[in-house]
Amino acid sequence: MADFIDSFASTIELFLNTLEFFALIVSCITFFFLMLNQYSKALRYILSPCGLGFWQRLRILFYCRKSPVMKRAFLEFAMLKTQGHSRVSGEWKTIINEFRAFYGTAQGDLVYHIPNCTLLIGEDFSDVVRRYFDFFQNDKVKKAFGIRDDRLCWVMKICIEEAYTTPACLLTGLLSTYEENWSEFIKRYVSTAFIAENDENIGNDILTNELYLTFVWLLWGPSFELDYTSCWAGLCQISYGDESNSIPAVANLDTGVSEKIAARFSGNRGRRYGALVSAELSIFENKSFYQSVRDTVNPDDAYFYDKIEDGMLSFAARIDSFSPYQSYKSKKYYCTAYVWLLFELEEEEYTFHPEKSVAFFEHANLTDQETYHFLVGTLIDKSIKHFSIIFANPHYNQRRYRFVCAMNEEIAGIFRSRYEALMAEDSEMGRAFRERMILEPKHTPAQAFAAYDEFFAQSKGLRFENVSLEKKETISDLARFYTEVYMECFPDADERESFDNLLAYLTQGTTAQDYCYHIILARDEKGEIVGGGIFDYMKRTNAGVIEFIAVKSDLQSGGMGSLIYQHIRSVLADDAYRTCQKPVSCIFCEIDSPEHSKASIKKYLYFWNKHHYRYLDFQYVQPALSLKQSPVTGLWLTVSVEHDKQETIDAELVAKVVYDYLKYAMQIEHPEENETYIRMEQELIQKKKIFLKKIV
């Protein structure tokens, strides 16, 4: 009996040991599964900098183990709760418990309520959201969490209870540009003022009191209102108390929210500036989101969307729904912003010079219309007083000013009415304003703001050099650009101009009357040539043609191409204004069609699509560049469109542009006798209207 009991005990002991061993294995497997899976990596990467420890992470892994949605929801909930700041263990315990209560009562409707937009503004919050989107960009991670959309989006939505919404874009202020380095900012003001005060021609430089106003106006950054009544892609500003406490948002275009909120703006015009609403937002990764809405953006507004895309926030907010406030609070809700007018010293050249501009501004209540209009009137009175003093001073009798833009068209309209009434007066001051004040702008607001960006950039911009036969050093620079950049970008010998041809085109362009030929080189802050472009202006059609933009291969996709493109646009605008006294009508560009491109990655297609180019639906062929070269058939002729609803372009205009391009830029003396041109002209004449197609 004793032997039986011993044997039974041994068997039980062996069974328990085996069971304990398997339990240990299962525990280890479970532990390593929990700690080494993608969600554990997400918790460590995204929330460990916020103080999330091992035991809290283990608890979250166990609690959220069954649902990918729940896993992502906790990450988003924790980001909102911590604001990206470090929290101690006890605070994390509270956050986890609050999430369990939130998720348990959500019933599939994951909406996180916040009182206003200020919780979404902080730099630390933006950093933790950036880590979130960076982590989920990985294809393996997307697969593990069942993410199929190219646009990364939170699974939770955010409801801002008090969202004062205006159809405006807040521009980055100089304090942000200089990273709140007052010393550098003041140094820049003093140096600019010194140049203005010591210039021999006092009529061509801004006065220091005018320069001061402009610098102060730019200090915190003004808002600019986009036209929301036509060609609007939904860009809004959600504020709390002041425009500096705001985030950008885009009203959903697919569900009609943009039309509804635009109607709300219009309906409120007679009583207050914007609309107080409760807004429900979706949070997207900013780059992919703004790329997805780019096709709906008016090209005149593209600058503002680019500004938001490359701004301080790592996310984009889309307004999916909103509920207007109808209470007494909405009638008295308080939000302030600059109201402003911008002028420039009138010069013969077209280029906008930030250091020769003057802004007048008032900090206004955007809610109460009576106060709003009072301050707009004060703003205009201030500008009239300033110019009256200038025009009465004989030292400044050569100075003329031109209006550039205002915060919005309503202010611009009130300004024009007041100034036109003043100019109609039969008085000395009325005559002075008639002769020395120009009310019609020659620059778009985007051109002016882009010029400010370039002027105040801290070693991040490019310095441009015009290649000229008169400056021998620029010819040497062109030769270096040709061998180091140009040849690399144009491996096809038939597409590539010879260096001798470039010099010949420069020689012809020096004395040309009907066109302007430009070669520009771009240097970085170290003085190294990093890119360039060749382009032409055709007087007969008031059109530009970009032959190419080239950037060193290892520096591509870093924004240099866009800087070169913007500079080219400004030079062409200068050509058009000097020649025709009006903006350039259109800009064409040759690019490789994707079927014939030798580039492995078609980055250039996204570049031209970003800048609102469409390719023309006809068989464009570039004639042979020399007797030793062949015509190039694998090209598209593209054109910048005024707006994305433009579907066609006049065939006769295209034929004239191509003719002039061949004659002047390619030095084909008689294009009408060239077989390649004859075939293109015949096709164009037959079609009359050429359809424009999306590049990507």
Indicate whether 369 belongs to any domain: yes
**Cβ–Cβ under 8 Å, residues 645 and 295:** no
Regarding whether 309 and 404 lie in a shared domain, the answer is no
Same domain, yes or no: 502 and 600: yes
Q: How far is CA 405 from CA 206, 342, 343, 415, in A?
A: 18, 5, 7, 10
CA–CA distance, 523 with 474 (Å, rounded to integer): 12
pLDDT at residue 459 greater than cutoff 50: no
- Which of these three, 391, 412, 445, is where a domain ends? 445
pLDDT tens for each residue of 478-492: 888 888 888 887 777
Domain boundary, last residue among 334, 352, 384: 334
* Residue 615 included in any domain: yes
* Dihedral (CA of 525, 528, 533, 536) sign: positive
566 shares its domain with 666: yes
Same domain, 281 and 359: no
What pLDDT sits at residue 30?
A: 46
Under DSSP, is residue 589 helix (H, G, I), strand (E, B) or coil?
Answer: strand
Among 86-100, 394-408, 500-514, the minimum mean pLDDT is found in 500-514
Task: Specify the pairing of strand 515-523 against strand 437-438.
Answer: unpaired
Smallest CA-to-CA distance from 667 within 544, 485, 468, 500 is with 500
Neighbouring CB atoms inside 10 A of 588's CB total: 26
pLDDT at residue 338 in the model = 92
Q: Is the pLDDT of residue 465 over 70?
A: yes
pLDDT in tens, 605-639: 888 887 888 999 999 988 887 767 778 888 899 99
Identify whether residues 558 and 504 lie together within a single domain. yes
pLDDT at position 460 over 70: no
> Cα 190 to chain center, whole Å?
30
| Most confident region among 114-118, 449-453, 528-532 by mean pLDDT | 114-118
Same domain membership, residue 264 and residue 237: yes
> Are 160 and 185 members of one domain?
no
Same domain, 556 and 635: yes
| Domain termination residue (choose one: 70, 105, 140) | 105
Residue 23 has pLDDT above 60, yes or no: no
pLDDT in tens, 63-118: 888 889 999 999 999 999 999 999 999 999 999 999 999 998 877 789 999 999 99
Residues 159 and 291 in one domain: yes
Helix, strand or coil for residue 515?
A: strand
Assign residue 531 the CATH number of its domain. 3.40.630.30
Contacts with 140 (C-beta within 8 Å, 6 or more apart), sequence order: 38
Domain count, the chain: 4
Provide the domain limits for residue 98. Answer: 36-105
Residue 6 pLDDT greater than 80, yes or no: no
Burial class (CB in 10 A: 0-12, 13-18, 19+), 478: buried
pLDDT at 9 over 70: no
In this structure, is residue 622 part of a structural domain?
yes
Average pLDDT over residues 154-177: 91
Q: Does residue 21 sit within a domain?
A: no
In a domain, 14, yes or no: no
Q: How confident is the model over 564-586, as pLDDT tens digits?
A: 998 898 888 888 888 888 888 89
Kindly state whether residues 375 and 487 are assigned to the same domain: no
Mean pLDDT, residues 384-398: 92
Regarding whether 573 and 470 lie in a shared domain, the answer is yes
Asked whether residue 617 falls in the same domain as residue 521, the answer is yes
